[in-house]
Amino acid sequence: MKHVSILIPHDSVMASIVDPRIIFTGVNEFLASVGKQPAFKVQLVGLTKEVQLHNGTFTVHADALISDVKKTDLILVPAIGGDLKGAIKKNEAFLPWIVDQYHQGAEVASLCIGAFLLASTGLLNGKECSSHWLTANEFREMFPEVTLVDGRIVTEQQGIYSSGGASSYWNLLLHLIEKHAGREMAIMAAKVYALEIDRKTQSPFIMFNGQKKHEDEPIKQAQEFIESNVAERISVEELAIKYAIGKRHFIRRFKKATNNTPIEYIQRVKIEAAKKQLENSRKNVNEVMYDVGYSDVKAFRTVFKKITGLSPIEYRNKYNKEAVEV
């Protein structure tokens, strides 16, 4: 039987504590219904016996304190919210315990923005990580030693797991159930809780918001120029000349400041504009394509699918209410 420790951090999102408990204990119930032994011993583990969440609206009662848990097999780090630096500070007593348990052989999994707490342990340094796309820029700023992977639902390296944003963590939970209780139990859980078992990406949900928390003013001006001229065909050469920077140096500075190359940034700005039109207008794909500065249908579709994981038509059908009604 695997010992599962679900942490109860201060300033955490309660659903990301409750949901793991529901699904792991649910698997135990499925096994019991067919005469099998439970696969998991599930405990809520805190720094104090009671933790108030959501401005005191809810109180979560810990089954154990970290000092009580000498050895565990799997640690789940729920999402935190609000002031992330402040939340990390409030929960810093968890960090050495997590590190110690990992070195004793425990696996560690962060759910959504719980990646900030996991990264604070240092265990993610030099590794890849998934998290919510909404806080991606802040994560990269706080943890430059960690490679944040855009779009990926589940990332796994050396016994450390992380999930994408919001409800994406259900896919990580299913992955862990499959690993420790078998594919059959994972499929059962997916059916009972109405989950898509093998979803791999959160790309269709990502809203691009360029990183501007940097001090490179010419690069910031270039970003604003790109965003204000979505319909134009802008080249890297044009931008380098406009801001009086050599092309190769411009590319290096742009990448360092924004975490995107100039070409990637131009593409993401154009595709974000295209997504909004496909969501909210009656325009067909070709009209939208021209509006965001593309003239080659194949190139537009290729870039759109690379960034969102869907074709323009699939995206429109999924997110445009009028298209769905038709």
What string of DSSP letters covers 19-56?
A: HHHHHHHHHHHHHHHTT---SEEEEEEESSSEEEETTT
Contacts of 277 (CB under 8 A, 6+ apart): 283, 288, 291, 292
Give dist(CA 266, CA 255) in Å, integer. Answer: 12
Please say whether the beta carbons of 208 and 271 come within 8 A: yes
- Burial-class residue 296 by CB neighbours within 10 Å (0-12, 13-18, 19+): exposed
Q: Which two tokens stand for residue 274?
A: 């295209």
H-type alpha helices, 34-156: 84-90, 94-103, 115-119, 136-142
Long-range contacts of 261-269 (CB under 8 A, 24+ apart): 262/222, 262/236, 263/236, 265/210, 265/223, 265/226, 266/226, 266/234, 267/303, 267/307, 268/208, 268/210, 268/307, 269/208, 269/210, 269/226, 269/227, 269/230
- 2-205 maps to CATH 3.40.50.880: yes
Q: Which two tokens stand for residue 7?
A: 């942490």
- In the chain, at which residue ranges do the beta strands (DSSP E only) sit? 2-7, 40-46, 50-53, 58-61, 64-65, 74-77, 107-110, 128-129, 147-148, 154-157, 160-163
Which fold would CATH assign to domain 217-323?
Answer: Arc Repressor Mutant, subunit A (1.10.10)
User: What per-residue confidence (pLDDT) applies to 137?
Assistant: 87
User: What per-residue confidence (pLDDT) applies to 199?
Assistant: 61
From first to last of its 326 residues, the chain has per-residue pLDDT tens of 999 999 999 999 999 999 999 999 999 999 999 999 999 999 999 999 999 998 889 999 999 999 999 999 999 999 999 899 999 999 999 999 999 999 999 999 999 999 999 999 999 999 999 888 888 889 999 999 999 987 778 898 899 999 987 678 898 999 899 899 988 898 888 888 888 766 655 565 566 777 788 889 999 999 999 999 999 999 999 999 999 999 999 999 999 999 889 999 999 999 989 998 998 888 999 999 999 999 999 999 999 999 888 899 998 888 786 654 44
Would you kindly state where each structural domain of the chain is located, as residue ranges?
2-205, 217-323
Q: Do domains 2-205 and 217-323 have the same CATH topology?
A: no
